């Protein structure tokens, strides 16, 4: 019996309903707490709902400003026409930077499928242990040498790997993120190696937006005072919307302004928030290359590609296979209650694995430890504090 070939859409991808029932797309079996949209093309944190609130808090005052202040400012004071439409440019930059920060892989390090296995110290004294039965006790830290400098890396029991330098695990997203700075609840996403630049552009442009609205509300009030020859208080009474926007932009501007100043300082010293407040495995390592080089690294270096292909097809994970084929799994993952069932099942499996992992004096190896020197020698600069 002849079967017609599977149809392919314009993007060159096989439709979801023709997938091999023994496989599933990576984003559907993702073990982190992330939420995906557009079939894995957009990736958000578990608190993505807060992003909707943030967008409203950004767009709503701008809409009010344009309707009640900027429009009247252009009519009553046409000399300010060019400056009034500048807000459209700023708000576009804010929204683009916001979405690029929230919907992008921040630099997640792919987790191992199995715990690391030991290797023999030498031919005479070895440790004969099967991969499926790891020994008890795993070293929490491991030292690797990069550019002649000894760097201490920490083992992550959740991702079952030794984290690269400057990488830390986010308890909210449940992922190890390269050069993780913080988890931004307002944006519903971790801030790391791949989205830090857009995050800084967002907070910087938000500061400009607040200053713009705050300043032009005062310009409008001053214009009313001069044109009608009344006191400043009388002019303020004529435009209560401007007063509300002045207060709102002042509070918001102080918050994002302080955040912008703080991250400008972090960039100038090549630090992350985690490193600045002390959550780092080796405080003796400095990444500072000088102010100019530090800024060039953040704003003029290429953003590395994601190490995760969320739309690639993988065999259905063993712990999820009992739920049926990929189609059944797809339907199951669309409901919140069944989402919790899967999370509970994964937790049980992780606990079983963790119960097997303890300490051992052997030398442990993971798939990415061997790549540390080659990967980081070209990207990072290491020196000891004097």
- For residues 189 and 37, give the distance between their C-alpha atoms in angstroms, rounded to a whole number: 14
- What is the helix (H) or strand (E) element at residue 350, kind and residue range? helix 336-356
Sign of torsion over alpha carbons 364, 366, 371, 375:
negative
Rounded (5°) CA angle 54-55-59: 120
DSSP track, 265-323:
HHHHHT--HHHHTT--S-TTEE----HHHHHHHHHSSPPPPPS--TTSEEEPPTTTGGG
How many Cβ atoms are within 10 Å of 377's Cβ, its own excluded? 13
Q: Going by DSSP bridges, is the β-strand pair 363-365/175-177 parallel, antiparallel, or unpaired?
A: unpaired
Sign of torsion over alpha carbons 328, 332, 338, 344:
positive
- For residues 75 and 80, give the distance between their C-alpha atoms in angstroms, rounded to a whole number: 9
Neighbour-count burial for 165-189, b at 16+ CB within 10 Å, e otherwise: bbbbbbeebbbbbbbbbbbbebbbb
Contacts of 169 (CB under 8 A, 6+ apart): 156, 158, 159, 163, 175, 176, 177
- For residues 250 and 210, give the distance between their C-alpha atoms in angstroms, rounded to a whole number: 7
User: Taking Cα atoms as reference points, which of 324, 304, 368 lies closest to residue 28?
Assistant: 324
Active site residue 184: yes
CB 113 within 8 A of CB 318: no
Rg of the Cα trace of the chain? 26
Neighbour-count burial for 233-269, b at 16+ CB within 10 Å, e otherwise: eebbeebeebeebbebbeebbeebbebbeebeebbeb
Active-site position among 66, 170, 184, 217: 184
Environment class of 319 (CB within 10 Å of its CB; exposed 0-12, middle 13-18, buried 19+) = middle
Active site residues: 184
């Amino acid at each position: 019996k002849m079967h017609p070939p599977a149809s392919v859409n314009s993007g060159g991808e096989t439709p979801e309903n023709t997938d091999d029932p023994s496989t599933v797309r990576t984003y559907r079996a993702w073990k982190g707490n992330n939420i995906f949209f557009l079939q894995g093309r957009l990736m958000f944190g578990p608190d993505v709902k807060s992003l909707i609130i943030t967008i409203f808090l950004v767009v709503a005052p701008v809409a009010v400003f344009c309707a009640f202040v900027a429009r009247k400012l252009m009519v009553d004071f046409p000399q300010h026409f060019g400056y009034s439409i500048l807000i459209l440019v700023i708000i576009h930059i804010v929204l683009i930077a916001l979405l690029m920060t929230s919907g992008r892989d921040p630099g997640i390090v792919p987790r191992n499928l199995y715990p690391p296995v030991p290797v023999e110290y030498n031919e005479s004294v070895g440790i004969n242990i099967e991969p499926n039965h790891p020994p008890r006790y795993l070293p929490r830290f491991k030292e690797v040498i990069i550019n002649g400098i000894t760097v201490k890396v920490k083992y992550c029991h959740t991702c079952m790997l030794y984290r690269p330098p400057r990488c830390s695990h986010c308890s909210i997203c449940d992922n190890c993120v390269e050069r993780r700075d913080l988890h931004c609840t307002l944006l519903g996403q971790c801030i790391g190696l791949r989205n830090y630049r857009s995050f800084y552009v967002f907070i910087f442009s938000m500061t400009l937006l607040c200053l713009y609205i705050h300043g032009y509300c005062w310009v409008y009030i001053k214009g009313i005072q001069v044109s009608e020859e009344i006191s400043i208080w009388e002019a303020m009474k004529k435009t209560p919307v401007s007063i509300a926007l002045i207060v709102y932009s002042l509070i918001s501007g102080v918050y994002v302004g302080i955040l912008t100043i703080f991250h400008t300082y972090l960039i100038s010293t090549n630090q992350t928030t985690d490193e600045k407040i002390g959550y780092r495995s080796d405080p003796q390592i400095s990444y500072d290359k000088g102010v100019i080089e530090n800024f060039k690294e953040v704003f003029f270096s290429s953003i590395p590609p994601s190490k995760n292909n969320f739309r690639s097809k993988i065999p259905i994970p063993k712990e999820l296979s009992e739920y049926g084929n990929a189609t059944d799994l797809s339907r199951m993952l669309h409901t919140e209650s069944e989402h919790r069932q899967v999370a509970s099942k994964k937790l049980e499996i992780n606990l079983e694995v963790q119960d097997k992992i303890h300490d051992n004096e052997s030398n442990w190896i993971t798939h990415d430890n061997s790549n540390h020197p080659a990967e980081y020698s070209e990207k990072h600069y290491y020196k000891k504090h004097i």
